[in-house]
Homo-oligomer: A and B are copies of this chain.
Amino acid sequence: MKIDIVGGGNLATHLNRALETKGAVSVINPHSLEGLRQDAHLILICVKDDAIQSVASRLPETSAVVAHTSGSVNMETLENASKDYGVFYPLQTFSRNDEIEYSEIPVFLEAKTPRAMETLEKAARLFSEKIKRADSEQRKRLHLASVFACNFTNALIGIAEELLEGTTIEINDLMPLMKKTLSKLEKLSPADAQTGPASRGDKKIMEAHLEMLKDDPLKQEIYSLISKKISHQN
Residue ranges of A at the interface with B (Cβ–Cβ < 8 Å): 72, 91-93, 95, 98, 100-101, 104-106, 108, 130, 132-134, 138, 140-142, 144-161, 163-164, 167-169, 171-182, 184-186, 189-191, 193-199, 205, 208-209, 212-213, 218-219, 221-223, 225-226, 228-230, 232-233
CA distance A160 to B218 in the complex (A): 22
Contact B141 A180 (CB under 8 A): no
Closest to A181 in B: B150
Contact A190 B91 (CB under 8 A): no
Q: Within the oligomer, what is the number of copies of this chain?
A: 2
Contact B156 A156 (CB under 8 A): yes
CA distance A225 to B152 in the complex (A): 10
Contact B158 A171 (CB under 8 A): no
CA distance A125 to B223 in the complex (A): 35
Tell me which residues across on chain B come within 8 A of A230, comparing CB atoms: 151, 155
Tell me which residues across on chain B come within 8 A of A233, comparing CB atoms: 158
Contact partner, A161, options B161, B168, B190, B229, Cβ 8 Å: B190
Contact A93/B222 with A145-B163, A146-B160, A147-B197 known, Cβ cut-off 8 Å: no
Tell me which residues across on chain B come within 8 A of A134, comparing CB atoms: 167-169
Contact partner, A173, options B132, B159, B196, B228, Cβ 8 Å: B132
Contact A176/B91 with A155-B226, A157-B185 known, Cβ cut-off 8 Å: yes
CA distance A152 to B233 in the complex (A): 13
Contact A151/B106 with A134-B169, A142-B167, A146-B177 known, Cβ cut-off 8 Å: no
Task: For the complex formed, measure the closest distance between the CB of A18 and the CB atoms of chain B, giving whole angstroms.
Answer: 13
Contact A91 B151 (CB under 8 A): no
Tell me which residues across on chain B come within 8 A of A193, comparing CB atoms: 154
CA distance A59 to B132 in the complex (A): 59
